[in-house]
Every structure is written in C-alpha cells, then in structure tokens.
Amino acid sequence: MTDTISIRRATREDVPQIYALVRGLADYVKEAHLLKGTEEDLLRDGFDDQPRFRCLVADDGTGTLLGTVIYSANYSTWVGRSTCYIDDFFVSDKARGKGIGRRLMAAVAAEAVAEGHGRISLTVLDWNPAREAYHSLGFEHEESALRYTVSGEALSKLAASVD
C-alpha cells in the first residue's frame, strides 16, 4: 500500500476530501462542536492567488486522500526568522501505522528548510497518543508554554476596544 502513496501539494479538487479529513480530526479530538470552518473557507483561503495556508496530502494513487497537513508561516522574534506552524495534521484510521504521517511531516520539514524557516511548531492535546510519534520525529514538548487564544465574541469585543 505505501509504495503507491504519494505526498503532494493539495489542489482545489482535493478540498472536499481535505475537509472530510479535518472533520475526522475534529471528531478524533472530540471537538467537532468547535469546527466552524467550511469547504468554502478552505477554497478561499488556501487556493487563491495569495493563499493563507499550504496543504500537503497523502494520495493512495487512486485519488483517495489518506492524510493531510495544513500549515502556514509566521514570524518569531525569538528565532529571528520565519517559522512554520502546523494547524491540522491527520491520517485516516485505515492508513495509520504505515509511515504516512512521518512522510507528511518530512515533506513539511523539507519545505520549511527550503524556505528558511527556523522552526516547525504545532499544538497537541495532552491526552493525544500521537504525542509519542511527534517525539520520535524530534519534536520537543515545551513544558513552560501554555497556549492562549481569543476568538468569536471575545475577539470582536477586544477589537472594538481599540482607542
């Protein structure tokens, strides 16, 4: 199975399957109720003239996607260069344990190095068994860092408070 699987850049035509994988991730982490993005959002933000994110997929050779990784660049003053942030990374149940996740991560790493990014980062829920896989790839858990977010009504309220 793995010898026919290719890792490639996603296309507009892949979006329905990519979105299904994103939904699969939301279900897996028990946060489907938080998923607000749509296929239309993916099309608009990832496949226009100035994409806000990039996406790689694992294709089984027949056009069926087995995994996806969605990532974007940001800047770190601590690193002193741009960095790569992985927002979504998911391999379907039937494809796990076949090295597809490692191949997707290696492809992102190759792009990050080629583009001069100084780091790849991602967020993982503390109970997720995939943490061991990330450790095996060289990722390190930052004990002292806590993730904070603001969104929805709280984001709007904060934005409205500008002087």
- The average pLDDT across 46-58 equals 97
- The average pLDDT across 18-25 equals 97
Q: Residue 96 is encoded by which pair of tokens?
A: 């796990």
- The average pLDDT across 88-99 equals 94
Residue 19 pLDDT exceeds 90: yes
- The average pLDDT across 103-112 equals 97
What is the per-residue pLDDT for 2? Answer: 54
Q: Rounded to two decimals, what is the model's pTM?
A: 0.91
- The average pLDDT across 150-156 equals 92
pLDDT grade, residue 120 (50/70/90)? very high
Q: How far is the C-alpha of 53 from the C-alpha of 70, rounded, in Å? A: 7
| Residue 5 · residue 59 · CB < 8 Å | yes
- The average pLDDT across 152-163 equals 93
Show which residues are catalytic: 134
Place of tokens 């490639």: 8
